Chains A and B, each alone.
Chain A
């Protein structure tokens, strides 16, 4: 019953536009799969929420563009793109660029923090050695030997 009711909608969605049905199905399957994988990674705590945002937006955006031909047309006109297939491709590329840029910014921040921590470790380690050698000179020189 449910399926029978859905069939015209699905058929309509598959035939009303410039994308070939095969392309459309592939794009929709891909974006849904991406969405599922991203959500699953967040559920398993393998992907932090902050990094999932852009991925989820990408997956949903791609899904909408593939599903709603009118949206794709607007997008096409906005960028002066002739081929609808390329518009889809371009949309995905745009988001990938954003994601890559986000990663570069995060990496810069992590590099700062990494440097700061490394410097701090070096300073604290030296201070510990100095204090230890004051307390017990023999123990300190032993510890030095073991340093990596």
Chain B
């Protein structure tokens, strides 16, 4: 028994770029449910996505990249999805690689990373600083999880049911889930895998890792990594709400079956 496949695209003010991405997904993953999480856009992103037949989940205001992803995870779980692929709305991640990620998932992995560094032709130009930060985190993740990881900051990922179950917990960060989440997932017993994925330079707009944001991001990641072995679960777990959600989900499954 396997539920639908969800293709998840978190988007904030990407009306000009998301169209071709959605078209590409139609071509490369025709049977999948395409979900766009509109994270408080002011430029009609939701409208563009709806026009192209995507399911749109709208945050009334901006919550952050990680929170938008998580809304999509919640949706996938509510609909009993067994596989989810997430990619960015700005055209960085080539939908042509979606089948490769899904294949790795079907081969038994719980969380598959699409890496731009496994094949030389996939690698777009990046700054030396970003490259070396990426290397450092790759080394940390590999050392900790014993899984060879080259691109731990990749937002191009595929998740199975077990990964979704873990990532809807509220320890999932609002901003950028990265190296620390991979290690958390691995420690929770999930199987990580990495496959080559084609990436392009952004079609425009602003990168999310810049200036002081990048510095904060580095700080946050290092703090999280340092605290990882001694961290307690979050005191707020949405308690009753999560239970209610489970009930709804079962209801859905029953109705579907």
Q: Do A and B bind each other?
A: yes
Residues of A that sit less than 8 Å from B by CB: 109, 111-113, 115-116, 118-123, 125-126, 130, 144, 147-148
Surface stretch bound by A, among B56-64, B153-161, B197-205, B220-228: B56-64
Q: Complex Cα distance A119/B63, Å? A: 9
Judge whether B74 and A121 touch: CB under 8 Å: no
- Determine the residue in chain B with the shortest Cβ distance to A114: B63
B residues with a Cβ closer than 8 A to A are: 37, 46, 50, 55-61, 63, 67, 70-71, 74-75, 78, 170, 174, 234-236, 238, 241
User: In the complex, which residues of chain B have a beta carbon less than 8 angstroms from the beta carbon of A125?
Assistant: 57-58
Q: Are B70 and A119 in contact (CB under 8 A)?
A: yes
* Residue in chain B with minimal CB distance to A116: B238
Contact A119 B61, beta carbon cutoff 8 Å: no
Contact yes or no, B57 A126, CB < 8 A: yes
Find out whether the CB atom of B78 lies under 8 angstroms from the CB atom of A123.
yes
A123 B58 Cβ-Cβ under 8 A: no
Question: A115 contacts B58, CB within 8 Å?
Answer: no
Task: Kindly identify which residue among B56, B67, B234 contacts A119, using a CB–CB cutoff of 8 Å.
Answer: B67
Contact of A112 among B57, B74, B78, B170 (CB under 8 A): B170
Chain B residues lying within 8 Å of A109, measured Cβ to Cβ, are: 235-236
The 8 closest A-B pairs by CB, nearest first: A122-B57, A119-B71, A112-B236, A126-B57, A116-B238, A115-B67, A118-B59, A122-B59
Residue of B nearest to A130 (CB): B55
Q: Provide the residues of chain A in CB contact with B236, threshold 8 Å.
A: 109, 112-113, 116
Not counting A118-B60, A121-B59, A126-B75, a sample of 10 additional A-B residue pairs whose C-beta atoms are within 8 angstroms of each other reads: A109-B236, A116-B238, A118-B59, A119-B70, A119-B74, A121-B60, A122-B58, A123-B74, A126-B56, A148-B60
Complex A-B: 23 CB contacts under 8 Å: A109-B235, A111-B174, A112-B234, A112-B236, A113-B236, A115-B63, A115-B67, A115-B174, A116-B241, A118-B59, A118-B63, A119-B59, A119-B63, A119-B70, A119-B71, A123-B71, A123-B75, A125-B57, A125-B58, A126-B55, A126-B57, A144-B50, A148-B60
CA distance A118 to B39 in the complex (A): 10
Among the interface residues B46, B56, B61, which one has the most CB atoms of the partner chain A within 10 A?
Answer: B56
- CB-based nearest A residue for B58: A122
| Minimal beta-carbon separation of B175 from chain A (angstroms) | 11
Which residues of chain B are within 8 angstroms of A112 by Cβ–Cβ distance?
Answer: 170, 234, 236
Residues of B within 8 A of A121 (CB): 59-60
A122 to B55, CA, bound (A): 11
Taking the closest CB of chain A, its distance from the CB of B91, in whole angstroms, is 24
Chain A residues, Cβ within 8 Å of B55: 126, 130
Rounded to whole angstroms, the CA-CA distance of A112 and B18 in the bound complex is: 29
Of B37, B174, B238, which is in contact with the most chain A CB atoms at under 10 Å from its CB?
Answer: B238
For A123, the chain B residues whose CB sits under 8 A away are 57, 71, 74-75, 78
A117 to chain B: closest CB distance in Å? 9
A101 to chain B, nearest CB (A): 16
Which chain A residue lies CB-closest to B62?
A: A118
A118 adjacent to B61 (CB under 8 Å): yes
Q: What CA separation (Å) do A121 and B78 show in the bound complex? A: 14
Contact between chains at B67 and A122 (CB < 8 Å): no
Residues of the A chain whose Cβ atoms lie less than 8 Å from the Cβ of B70: 119
A95 to chain B, nearest CB (A): 24
State in angstroms the CA–CA spacing of A139 and B234 once bound together. Answer: 42
Cα distance A92–B59 in the bound complex, in angstroms: 42
A138 to B55, CA, bound (A): 18
* B57 x A116 contact (CB < 8 A): no
Query: B57 to chain A: which residues have CB within 8 Å?
Result: 122-123, 125-126
Contacts of A130 in B (CB 8 A): 55
Known: A122-B37, A123-B71, A123-B75. A116 touches B170 (CB 8 A): yes
